[in-house]
Amino acid sequence: MATTDKIRNITLIGQSGTGKTLLFDTLLYNTKMVSRCGRVEDNSSNSDFTDEEHEKKHSIFNAVGYVDYRGYKINIIDTPGYPDFIGDPISSFHAADITVSVISAVEGVQFTHRNFSKMINKIGLSRIAFINKMDRDDADFDATFAQVKKMVKSGAMPLTIPVGSGTNFSGVVNILSMKALTTKDGTIQEMDIPDDIQPTADKYRKAMIEAIAESDDALMEKYLESEMLSDEEIHTGLTNGLSSGKIIAVLCGSAEKNIGLQSLLDIIVDAMPSPILRTVRDTNDALIKIGVDKPFLGFVFKTLTERNVGELNFVRVYSGSLKSSDHVSNTNKNASERIGTLSCFIGKEKKDITTLVAGDIGILVKLKNTTVCDTLAEAKSSVIIKKPAYPKPILSMAIVPPSKQDQERMSGALHKLMGEDATLSMHFDSELKQSIVSCMGEQQMDNLVHTLKTKFDVSVTLEEPKVPYRETISRKVEAQGRHKKQSGGRGQFGDCFIRWEPLKDSEKEDPDQVYLFVNEIKGGAIPKNYIPAVDKGVHEALNRGFLSGCPMINVKATVYDGSYHAVDSSDLAFQMAAILSFKAAMPNAGVNLLEPIMNMKISILSEYMGDVMGNLSGRRGRIQGQEKDDDLTIINALCPLAELYKYANDLRSITQGTGHFEMEFSHYEQVPPDVAKKIVEAAAKEKEEEA
């Protein structure tokens, strides 16, 4: 069992297709953790092993594995690069201490890398940029390194450089050991640096020493005096620089040809920080003191339901240790949990273990109350670890069970899945009478439907969410509503005159106020005790609307006259009278349809500006302004919600996956007449079909 100082936790992140999963499989194979090197293409990968991943041929979920290397346990998380599944890499930042950004030497630094780079800067994790695919003919180490430098702004430092490139790529020079490691016929040989690379290696070695000196005042002084640092000073300075994030290690290799991976592991072991240097914050953003000798503290960064095993919770231990049969507290749920079996994953295989020490990552089976992002702590503790910052969902759909009887089963299953994926949310919209699920994109939505079917046996369908339209009036109208019925016994009588008019801005308590009811009855034309019934009738009538069955807003209703019957009047009769007044008034009140307008913030690379703007204006959107944030342009726009269905798909395809947006409700606005006509016709048709 590895002790905390001999554990390293890495997460492989980056754009889809850069080779993270092949790197994961090859690392497992090289260290003899598996007997055959898995490959995504033939479904033998140890990371992409679910049916969905086999079908799509890319990663969807975080996979966790570990390798034993030189007496160290290196936990490796392989994350999906596809934007829909961004929740998983973000969760992995709470488990790993070292991020390995896998970048293709052909495509170079891509949007996802830059996006993660900003996040990691904020969290403060140690960083490696691994320039992969050096075996490809069009690979360009220098150009990619220049892009990495631009991305991280300062501190990028090559710790390995390539020997050859494309078909001639045969190995790497390790700038730490100043040795070349070349691969011939599948075996790695350590040799002197080839003459033609020596000058480059010297240049980077000097640059590395300078960067180390710059990261520490005492070292700087020594370096300025002697132009030298001892091996020990270099090692300590480098480790400190890498731990603090001041230095970013740039490495290169090929997962395909199995080149450069030994140096990757060596540098992780020799220079990257141990888990104990990690910082963790609580929900108040205060630092939590962690340590091997402190009471147990862990964070659940992934929850997964396996059909025959039950729930698996992946936990990163920050402090203390965990043994099976320990009792711990889930501080988010204020519930206690008994630890059953403890395991580790090696790719798809689970291996039982007895103890998880501080810094390690493991799996807990069958906890009762624990879901993703929960904190587990010693029994007395109340500390809650701050959750990762996930982006807001960008796609919402109505989800429909096969029959009404399945509604509960569907909700139960969705709640379970929400406990596994922090980017998934659901609510029942009582106005629209639809269950709305929201997530990060269409692939994630497809996946959800697939999982509901295969794991929970619920075959759902997805529909476009309805738009919560509103109506309002544009003219003042007065109308009588008289409800009179005589049928055998006691009759019904209610009579009221109501003035219906648009609510002035100065009378509104909030911009989209439903209505204001005013009582102007004088001399008891309607007795006081029936006034609330008139108000209730007004409310009910407004709620049903006039044109489209959608509620009316911004209406002032003033009851100013009426009459009553000493015996036959009742609350119900006055309620009806108000409804009749509404029905009589509305044909002359100039009723308009209103639609929700959303406030949008769209972040794009400037080169896509024209296309994004064009697409927005096709959706009746209006640009309000724009600002710059580094290489991104942020467009502020207003756009009708009705035009935003699946906007995420368009934005993604226009911007080649790089665009992102967030939106929130702004206000209601009148629907243009041609659009309103269609909505009113559709509502009438729906009503006809229901009848």
Residue closer to Mg ion by CB (options 8, 20) is: 20
Query: Distance between CA 455 and CA 458 in Å, rounded?
Result: 8
- Closest contact distance (angstroms) between CB of 324 and ligand GTP is 33
Taking CB under 6 A as the binding criterion, the range among 17-25, 344-352, 357-365, 646-654 that sits at the site for ligand GTP is: 17-25
Decide: residue 126, CB within 10 A, 0-12 exposed, 13-18 middle, 19+ buried.
Answer: buried
Cα-based distances in Å from 167 to 170, 173, 193, 442, 547: 8, 17, 19, 38, 70
What values do phi and psi take at 349, rounded to 5?
-90, 135
Q: Based on the shown chain and the rule CB under 6 A, indicate whether residue 21 belongs to the binding site for ligand GTP.
A: yes
Give how far the C-alpha of residue 203 lies from the chain's centroid of Cα atoms, to the nearest Å: 42
Tokens for 206? 């000097």
* 136 contact, one of ligand GTP, Mg ion, none, CB 5-8 Å limit per kind: ligand GTP
Residue closer to ligand GTP by CB (options 80, 545) is: 80
Taking CB under 6 A as the binding criterion, the range among 228-236, 249-257, 381-389, 427-435 that sits at the site for ligand GTP is: 249-257
Residues touching ligand GTP, count (CB under 6 A): 22
- Closest contact distance (angstroms) between CB of 366 and ligand GTP is 29
Query: Distance between CA 266 and CA 268 in Å, rounded?
Result: 5
- Closest contact distance (angstroms) between CB of 41 and ligand GTP is 6
> Phi-psi bin for 475: left (phi > 0), alpha (psi -120 to 50), beta?
beta
- N- to C-terminal Cα distance for the chain? 71
Taking CB under 6 A as the binding criterion, the range among 77-85, 205-213, 291-299, 532-540 that sits at the site for ligand GTP is: 77-85
Residue closer to ligand GTP by CB (options 82, 500) is: 82
* 135 contact, one of ligand GTP, Mg ion, none, CB 5-8 Å limit per kind: ligand GTP
Query: Distance between CA 87 and CA 20 in Å, rounded?
Result: 17
- Closest contact distance (angstroms) between CB of 170 and Mg ion is 26
Report strand pairing: 72-78 vs 7-13: parallel
- Closest contact distance (angstroms) between CB of 78 and Mg ion is 6
Choosing from 11, 46, 59, 558, the residue that interacts with ligand GTP (CB under 6 A) is: 59
**Residues in contact with Mg ion by the rule CB under 5 A:** 20-21, 59
Q: Based on the shown chain and the rule CB under 6 A, indicate whether residue 256 belongs to the binding site for ligand GTP.
A: yes
Q: Based on the shown chain and the rule CB under 6 A, indicate whether residue 337 belongs to the binding site for ligand GTP.
A: no
Choosing from 61, 72, 82, 469, the residue that interacts with ligand GTP (CB under 6 A) is: 82
- Closest contact distance (angstroms) between CB of 169 and Mg ion is 22
Nearest to 69 by CA among 158, 2, 19: 2
Residue closer to ligand GTP by CB (options 254, 633) is: 254
Give how far the C-alpha of residue 398 lies from the chain's centroid of Cα atoms, to the nearest Å: 19
Nearest to 582 by CA among 539, 548, 549: 539
- Closest contact distance (angstroms) between CB of 33 and ligand GTP is 17
- Closest contact distance (angstroms) between CB of 173 and ligand GTP is 18
Tokens for 633? 């342009």
Residue closer to Mg ion by CB (options 15, 434) is: 15
Query: Distance between CA 499 and CA 221 in Å, rounded?
Result: 86
Q: What 3 state SS string does 594-659 have?
A: EEEEEEEEEEEEHHHHHHHHHHHHHCCCEEEEEEEECCEEEEEEEEEHHHCCCHHHHHHHHCCCCC
Residue closer to ligand GTP by CB (options 40, 342) is: 40
* 256 contact, one of Mg ion, ligand GTP, none, CB 5-8 Å limit per kind: ligand GTP
What values do phi and psi take at 478, rounded to 5?
-115, 140
Choosing from 30, 75, 115, 254, the residue that interacts with ligand GTP (CB under 6 A) is: 254
**Most distant CA atoms of the chain, gap in Å:** 114
- Collapsing DSSP to helix, strand or coil, 37 comes out as coil
Q: What are the counts of helices (DSSP H) followed by strands (DSSP E) for the chain?
A: 16, 36
* Look-up of token digits 């497992």: 28
Nearest to 437 by CA among 408, 472, 461: 461
Query: Distance between CA 317 and CA 13 in Å, rounded?
Result: 21
Q: Which of residues 133-162 bind ligand GTP (CB under 6 A)?
A: 133, 135-136
- Closest contact distance (angstroms) between CB of 61 and ligand GTP is 10
* 133 contact, one of Mg ion, ligand GTP, none, CB 5-8 Å limit per kind: ligand GTP
* 254 contact, one of ligand GTP, Mg ion, none, CB 5-8 Å limit per kind: ligand GTP
Residue closer to ligand GTP by CB (options 22, 410) is: 22
- Closest contact distance (angstroms) between CB of 141 and Mg ion is 23
H helical segments located in 215-253: 217-226, 231-244
Q: Based on the shown chain and the rule CB under 6 A, indicate whether residue 425 belongs to the binding site for ligand GTP.
A: no
Choosing from 2, 6, 17, 611, the residue that interacts with ligand GTP (CB under 6 A) is: 17
Report strand pairing: 375-378 vs 361-365: unpaired
- Closest contact distance (angstroms) between CB of 508 and Mg ion is 53
Contact flags string 33-52 toward ligand GTP, x per CB under 6 A = -------xx-----------
Q: Based on the shown chain and the rule CB under 6 A, indicate whether residue 22 belongs to the binding site for ligand GTP.
A: yes
H helical segments located in 348-486: 407-418, 442-456
∠ Cα 12 15 20 (to 5°): 35
H helical segments located in 386-528: 407-418, 442-456
> Phi-psi bin for 646: left (phi > 0), alpha (psi -120 to 50), beta?
left
Choosing from 9, 18, 147, 655, the residue that interacts with ligand GTP (CB under 6 A) is: 18
Taking CB under 6 A as the binding criterion, the range among 132-140, 378-386, 568-576, 585-593 that sits at the site for ligand GTP is: 132-140
Cα-based distances in Å from 183 to 170, 190, 259, 527, 653: 6, 9, 7, 98, 40
Residue closer to Mg ion by CB (options 20, 470) is: 20
Taking CB under 6 A as the binding criterion, the range among 61-69, 131-139, 260-268, 550-558 that sits at the site for ligand GTP is: 131-139
Q: Based on the shown chain and the rule CB under 6 A, indicate whether residue 556 belongs to the binding site for ligand GTP.
A: no
Q: Based on the shown chain and the rule CB under 6 A, indicate whether residue 255 belongs to the binding site for ligand GTP.
A: yes
What's the length of the chain?
691
**Residues at the site binding ligand GTP, with contacts judged by CB under 6 A:** 16-22, 40-41, 58-59, 80-82, 102, 132-133, 135-136, 254-256
